[in-house]
Chain A
Amino acid sequence: MLLLKLATRNIFRNVSRTVLTVFLISTSLIALVFMDGFATAMASAMSKSATRLFPGDSQIHQRNFLEEYNQTKVIQVPNIIADLQAEELIQSATPRTLSSGTISSSSNMIAAQIIGVHSLFEPTVSKLKLTVIEGDYLSEELSDNTTGNKKTNKHSNKSEILIGQKMAERLEVGLGDRIVISMPQADGKDFVQELFKVTGIFSFKSKQMDSAMVFIHINRAQQMLGLNNNTYHEIAFNFKNNTDATNLELPIFAKYSNRQIIAQSWTQIMPELASILELMTVSIVAIGFLLFILVGLGVVNALFMSIFERTYEFGVCRSIGTSARFIFVQIMAEALMIAMISAVIGCFVGWCLNYYFSIYGIDYGQLEMSGATLSEPIKTQVNLSQFTIYPLQMILLTLLVCIYPAWSAAKIQPAQALRKSL
């Protein structure tokens, strides 16, 4: 009680100094809380836009497929798509074939990646359907890939192809124009050449994707490549909660990996993006560390000033029988109080900021970064840890740095202190 009374009254003794100290601590806390909210949101937006645009949160391939791009390395697991789609944590899954070839029009020829997609499942994983800016998306599958029932009736549908905006410009083609895909079969023995009719033009707003990717029906692709109906090069799937994708501990990854195939998170498939995001986390920690140092110095300075001014007073207190420990605890109580006031203010303002921007977002315009395009305003994330861990760290830090000044105050020699101001 006495301690509390002394501590509260003492911190309000020099109001401007206390206000400044509180301002310093709480501003740093606000900065930390806001940066955290912003960076978490930014990282999640970046990874989401990168993965959900086309690749998917996670992918399954035959082992070494990505490294070797050997098209005989197919996934051949019965019912794997249906199984994935039935998983608790998984939102959607879609099969793909991946191959390289050339696309030629009457005026030009371009190397391209030819991707066979399932017209129904693909939109559940990627934004392909939404990026079609001219014409139509692929029509419904002719044969159900997951069951392998072949219904080869209307041949015309099978020649549907989606090409990127940049590619259309370079091939000088438009909707309805004919183009030819030439590519080797999967085993490399034969070479196929088939005619397609441009049904849609897409724009991912990525130069590379828009100039070098084409999409056709997966069963057509399988035919051309000489693959069975139930074999794919890639299965892309999304989690219901996109942050699950980074949790490699999840049993899903092990379940869909064996000696032949491997399920990987986007962090493994796109390590550059993962490392950029990691860098963001590291820079937050670094800035946080710098802030802590600044706060530490500021608080120690303020406390030393206040102790220095009270040297004589401490001398008197010690003379009349106050123990060194009591003085120490008294200073620590003052520091704790300042830290707690700052924590409350910091949390409140930080919460307001994060909450405001979690609703209205921070508009970044268009930002393309390592395959991730941020086109929507970033909505800061508000989470509990911002208001528990950070303030707690601030309070602990304040107490930690105040041990030294408090200890110096406790060590004041009464005889010397009494001479000081006399």
Chain B
Amino acid sequence: MKSDFNLDSQSNNQIVIQTRNLCKTFGEKDTLVKALDDVSLDIKAGEFSAIIGPSGSGKSTLLQMIGGLDVADSGEIILAGNNIADLSSGALTRFRRDHIGFIFQSYNLIPVLSAAENVEYIMLLQGIEKVERKERTFEILKQVGLLGRENRRPGQLSGGQQQRVAVARAMVSKPDIILADEPTANLDSKTGIELLDMMKELNEVHKMTFLFSTHDPKIMDRATRLIQLVDGKLTD
């Protein structure tokens, strides 16, 4: 599955995410917004880093660029040695499917599928066999503490539970990078911290690289590294 990309991020201290002079603007003339302004960033394998910054500072834009959801005006994004600009759109889609897990603020799940089916979804797209799919789904739902609720539809789960399913889905295909855009923003702070603690634990167990954005100072405490954005620029 992952053979078509030369990823080997298993060894620690290797840089998995690298952005070089990333720029992105939206709008024209009067409405021109510099969402990202010369962002150069290195993220090492296994990091649990948070992008922080005020609203409109470019956090979502940066995460979307890294995930290949949008194209930069200039600059480069290199994920474990692959310059994503070199990938065709089909290859980019497969790259996302196999190497990146996405978690959004809310409505992450496909409403017509149950929790377990949502988790299985990507594995189905990947063509993984049923037995293995079921096994991995069971395993990951256990890890996020949702056993017994696997047949519920998203509408029958609380916001926190939905986010746990989203985390489970993002992790089940064992991606190299998990990008989370304010995963706790719609949760109360207790639930948010629980979710983040769970993510942290999974990060430590599975050695996956986590990059998430947040507003919440309590959550920033959990991060191993803080990356601050102000008006699209990195500050220290």
Q: Which of B41-49, B118-126, B224-232 contacts A (4 or more CB under 8 A)?
A: B118-126
Decide yes or no whether A414 CB sits under 8 A from chain B.
yes
Decide yes or no whether B64 CB sits under 8 A from chain A.
yes
Bound CA span A313–B110, Å: 7
| Nearest A residue (CB) for B108 | A316
- Asked if A415 and B70 sit within 8 Å, CB to CB, the answer is yes
Q: In the complex, which of the residues A5, A6, A13, A421 contacts B107, with contact meaning CB atoms closer than 8 Å?
A: A421
- Asked if B107 and A413 sit within 8 Å, CB to CB, the answer is no
- Asked if B124 and A313 sit within 8 Å, CB to CB, the answer is no
Known: A321-B96, A323-B93, A415-B64. A316 touches B124 (CB 8 A): no
Q: In the complex, which of the residues B111, B121, B170 contacts A13, with contact meaning CB atoms closer than 8 Å?
A: B111
Bound CA span A13–B153, Å: 12
Decide yes or no whether B102 CB sits under 8 A from chain A.
yes
Known: A320-B97, A321-B93, A321-B97. A13 touches B112 (CB 8 A): yes
Known: A9-B113, A415-B69, A418-B69. A320 touches B107 (CB 8 A): no
Chain A residues contacting B90 (CB-CB under 8 Å) are: 323
Chain A residues contacting B64 (CB-CB under 8 Å) are: 414-415, 418
Decide yes or no whether A302 CB sits under 8 A from chain B.
no
Chain A residues contacting B183 (CB-CB under 8 Å) are: none
- Asked if B96 and A320 sit within 8 Å, CB to CB, the answer is yes
Chain A residues contacting B113 (CB-CB under 8 Å) are: 5-6, 9
CB-CB contacts of A387-422 with B at 8 A, as 1s and 0s?
Answer: 000000000000000000000000001110011011
Decide yes or no whether A2 CB sits under 8 A from chain B.
yes
Decide yes or no whether B37 CB sits under 8 A from chain A.
no
Within 8 A of A (CB), among B95-120: 96-98, 100-102, 104-105, 107-113, 117
Bound CA span A5–B124, Å: 12
Q: Shortest distance in angstroms between B67's beta carbon and chain A's nearest beta carbon?
A: 7
Q: Shortest distance in angstroms between A310's beta carbon and chain B's nearest beta carbon?
A: 9
Decide yes or no whether A312 CB sits under 8 A from chain B.
yes
- Asked if A320 and B112 sit within 8 Å, CB to CB, the answer is no
Chain A residues contacting B164 (CB-CB under 8 Å) are: none
Most buried by B among A9, A320, A419, A421: A320
Q: In the complex, which of the residues B60, B67, B111 contacts A313, with contact meaning CB atoms closer than 8 Å?
A: B111
Q: Shortest distance in angstroms between B123's beta carbon and chain A's nearest beta carbon?
A: 10
CB-CB contacts of B182-210 with A at 8 A, as 1s and 0s?
Answer: 00000000000000000000000000000
A-B contact count (CB 8 A): 73
CB-CB contacts of A290-324 with B at 8 A, as 1s and 0s?
Answer: 00000000000000000000001100111111111
Bound CA span A6–B113, Å: 8
| Nearest A residue (CB) for B124 | A2
Decide yes or no whether A326 CB sits under 8 A from chain B.
yes
Chain A residues contacting B104 (CB-CB under 8 Å) are: 316, 319, 418
Decide yes or no whether B233 CB sits under 8 A from chain A.
no
Decide yes or no whether A10 CB sits under 8 A from chain B.
yes
- Asked if B93 and A322 sit within 8 Å, CB to CB, the answer is yes
| Nearest B residue (CB) for A10 | B112
| Nearest B residue (CB) for A3 | B124
Decide yes or no whether B94 CB sits under 8 A from chain A.
yes
Within 8 A of B (CB), among A334-357: none
Chain B residues contacting A415 (CB-CB under 8 Å) are: 64, 69-70
Within 8 A of B (CB), among A1-28: 1-2, 5-6, 9-10, 13
- Asked if B93 and A318 sit within 8 Å, CB to CB, the answer is yes
Decide yes or no whether B59 CB sits under 8 A from chain A.
no
Q: Shortest distance in angstroms between A138's beta carbon and chain B's nearest beta carbon?
A: 79
Bound CA span A419–B26, Å: 13
- Asked if A413 and B70 sit within 8 Å, CB to CB, the answer is yes
- Asked if B97 and A6 sit within 8 Å, CB to CB, the answer is no
Q: Shortest distance in angstroms between A419's beta carbon and chain B's nearest beta carbon?
A: 8
Q: Shortest distance in angstroms between B164's beta carbon and chain A's nearest beta carbon?
A: 16
Known: A321-B94, A321-B98. A326 touches B112 (CB 8 A): no
- Asked if A319 and B112 sit within 8 Å, CB to CB, the answer is no
- Asked if B124 and A319 sit within 8 Å, CB to CB, the answer is no
Chain B residues contacting A2 (CB-CB under 8 Å) are: 121, 124-125
Q: Shortest distance in angstroms between A47's beta carbon and chain B's nearest beta carbon?
A: 54
In the complex, besides A319-B67, A319-B96, A422-B105, 16 extra interface pairs with C-beta distance below 8 angstroms are A1-B124, A5-B117, A6-B113, A9-B113, A13-B112, A316-B104, A316-B109, A317-B110, A320-B169, A321-B97, A321-B100, A321-B125, A414-B64, A418-B64, A418-B69, A421-B107
Across the A-B interface, the 9 shortest Cβ-Cβ residue pairs: A321-B97, A9-B112, A415-B70, A414-B69, A415-B69, A321-B96, A319-B102, A2-B124, A415-B64
